[in-house]
A and B are shown apart, each in its own frame.
Chain A
Amino acid sequence: GAGVSQSPSNKVTEKGKDVELRCDPISGHTALYWYRQSLGQGLEFLIYFQGNSAPDKSGLPSDRFSAERTGGSVSTLTIQRTQQEDSAVYLCASSLGGGLSKNIQYFGAGTRLSVL
């Protein structure tokens, strides 16, 4: 696609429910990143994919968070048994990857998650 696409744009859920957030990166981009941005805060790194592999999962806050990427393209971030502190904007970014010079990240508009 022309840009990074994230869906849904907004998600309201009840505490304890599972949610899935989707990211469709720019076509041809091999690197994909998930971030979390809490209200008025900076970007918190969650996970990084190179192709379908996740070399760095160090930012996932707990075992309730997981992510996968299939076909080197679409990625899904899943949050199980959501808690109110999970409320935030979840941002996805992609870059060409494959080398240091190909590291400009392009961001999606994010998914705003509200856990009631």
Chain B
Amino acid sequence: AQKVTQAQTEISVVEKEDVTLDCVYETRDTTYYLFWYKQPPSGELVFLIRRNSFDEQNEISGRYSWNFQKSTSSFNFTITASQVVDSAVYFCSLFTSGTYKYIFGTGTRLKVLA
């Protein structure tokens, strides 16, 4: 079975704090992709990053970084020096070659307070 778990329902931080959003996935497929999306209050999901199962390199993009660890089936997302504009719901998603279907976690609502 394919599953994505985002255990943190809501996180509140003060501006400039670092915050990590957790994502744990389950799949038996050996070829799969992991995604993070941001859903601001406007509602449109915005693509942030994609990782495939054969590439465990961590990635940094500005204040965003991602830690992919197959050993723990996790794909965590860290925002450094958070800003109010980072306030949104963040979704982790799994795409597997076996189903051609995207499985989404329930999302983590991040509130960054000024």
Residues of A whose CB lies within 8 Å of any CB of B are 33, 35, 41-43, 45, 48, 50, 55-56, 89, 91, 93, 100-101, 103-110, 112
State the 8 A-B residue pairs at the shortest beta-carbon distance, nearest first.
Answer: A42-B106, A107-B45, A43-B104, A109-B44, A42-B104, A110-B43, A42-B107, A103-B95
Are the C-beta atoms of A33 and B104 separated by less than 8 Å? no
Interface string of B7-51 (1 = CB under 8 A from A): 000000000000000000000000101010100001111110010
Residues of B whose CB lies within 8 Å of any CB of A are 31, 33, 35, 37, 42-47, 50, 52, 91, 95, 97, 99-107
* Contact flag A42-B105 (CB < 8 Å), given A104-B47, A104-B50, A109-B42: yes
Cα(A41)–Cα(B6), bound, Å: 12
User: Which residues from A are CB-within-8-Å of B99?
Assistant: 56
Can you give 25 contacting A-B residue pairs, CB < 8 Å?
A33-B102, A42-B91, A42-B104, A42-B107, A43-B91, A43-B104, A45-B101, A48-B100, A56-B99, A56-B100, A56-B101, A89-B43, A91-B45, A103-B33, A103-B50, A104-B35, A104-B50, A105-B47, A106-B47, A107-B37, A107-B44, A109-B42, A109-B43, A109-B44, A110-B44
